Amino acid sequence: MKRRDFIKTASMAGLGTGITLLNFPVFGKSAPGNKLVLAVMGVNSRGNWLAQVAARLPGAEIGYICDVEDEAIAKGLKAVASVQSRKPTVIKDIRKLLEQRDFDALFIAAPDHWHAPAAIMAAAAGKHVYVEKPCAHNPQEGEWLVAAARKYNRLIQMGNQRRSWPNLQQAVKEVKEDGILGKVYYGRGWYVNNRAPIGTGKKIAVPGTLDWNLWQGPAPRMDYLDNIVHYNWHWRWHWGTSETCNNATHELDCLRWFMDLDFPIKVTSAGGRYAYPKDDWETPDTQTLQFEFEGGKAVAWEGRSCSPFNLEGSSRGFALFGENGSLYNSGGDHYKILDTKNKVVKEVKQAANAERSVVNTVSPAGEFYDAVHISNFLESIRGNDTLHSDISSGYRSTLLCLLGNIAQRTGRVLHTDPANGHILHDAEAMKMWRRSYEKGWIPII
């Protein structure tokens, strides 16, 4: 879809609340005259999609692509060429990219171990940052990232797109301001999939199309295996952060948002690699997380990476339970509110022409719902809006997932400080608050 067609289609996208995209700051008071030049790091999959969506927005242009694999670069260039006339400059090394002065913001969709280090480097170089979830590979990186945004006075937005979805924004107002559910004391989220086993990797020569040293970047060096790049690094602790940070981040963020939660006081986890226990997949494929908070509130999440039976009729979603009823969301920009007798008292549906897609795996929610979040970021840079998911909030949601992983790996209940989420009275677990880095790659604020 060309930029002109996207604008025309998006502006006609009526939502269930009667809001249209024209009511949202996608066009901006200054756009398109106040052009923003963007760079995208990691364009094999999600970053490829983000580049296309951003380039379609008025006043935005992709000036640079940063990737370490030739085929991904080719895919990124082809995708951007379909929506803008300017051909982006390709720079493989993020350090070289950040020496360039003629772009405004960096989009980061590289593997998880790159998210916080690249974002910190970008902020130090004077760039605003849009970083995909999770914002960090470990809790210390998240704290560093929040500190970097403050020190360098840069805007850093995490890619938990639901914060910008209009119907969910309306639902939050009804729950938090209007008190439609009364006191909300419990929230539950879930995610299921049908992922195949990844086998046992073989040590082979690094493909000539890949710069394996730059791909590893801040992570301590390991041998190249034939089943890591492009996706299965998610399930290895050295680079990835498990299904919790890969997907639970969204639902746990919504529960934090709706329930006005900060740092937890208690974290527990149960699960493991159960479906295919003899391959290289290290992280849990089956996991339940429980979080307790001050004020008599609790949250749970269930994930099944390799068992697709839906919960509550949907592959993902969340539910809230309060003294006056409950709210149900099945993954999209819609919701139902039920009274204490389970009678539906209100239902808000997603836009008919913006339904979720099982075909578009890099953006199942659809283009409109990525565009509104990216637009919020760009308009905040222009001074026309404020971030819907600033990094301080994004880190808190990511931290829930990271703490859940630490509880899982230690096999213990974690008691945490409600002021900052730090693990209390458990030195072994607190060691997982941070990681080691390849020499010369330690993030510096």
Tens of pLDDT, residues 116-136: 999 999 999 999 999 999 999
Q: Mean of the pLDDT values across residues 29-35? A: 58
Q: Mean of the pLDDT values across residues 96-112? A: 98
User: Given this structure, which CATH class describes domain 3-162?
Assistant: alpha beta
CA distance 71 to 116: 25
Q: What is the pLDDT of residue 14?
A: 31
User: Given this structure, which CATH class describes domain 166-203+206-351+391-433?
Assistant: alpha beta
Average pLDDT of the chain, as a whole number: 92
Least confident of 3-17, 86-100, 180-194: 3-17
Residue 367 has pLDDT above 90, yes or no: no
Query: How far is C-alpha 374 from the chain's CA centre?
Result: 12
Residue 69 has pLDDT above 80, yes or no: yes
Whether the model clears a pTM of 0.95, i.e. scores above it, the answer is no
Least confident of 218-222, 277-281, 350-354: 350-354
Q: Which residues contact 248 (CB under 8 A, 6 or more apart)?
A: 189, 191, 289, 301, 303, 400, 401, 404
Query: Per residue in 322-366, pLDDT tens?
Result: 999 999 999 999 999 999 999 999 999 998 655 544 445 565 567
Residue 13 has pLDDT above 80, yes or no: no
Domain map (residue ranges) of the chain: 3-162, 166-203+206-351+391-433
How many helices (H) and strands (E) are present in the chain, helices listed first?
A: 13, 15
Assess whether the previous peptide bond of 32 is cis (omega < 30° from 0): yes
Contact 168, 318 (CB under 8 A): no
Type and span of the H or E element at 18? none
Q: Mean of the pLDDT values across residues 179-199? A: 98
As given in the structure block, the two tokens for residue 303 are 């994930």
Query: Per residue in 297-312, pLDDT tens?
Result: 999 999 999 999 999 9
Nearest CA-CA partner of 207 in 186, 195, 224, 193? 224
Confidence of residue 19 (pLDDT cuts 50, 70, 90): very low
Contact 3, 55 (CB under 8 A): yes
Residue 66 has pLDDT above 80, yes or no: yes
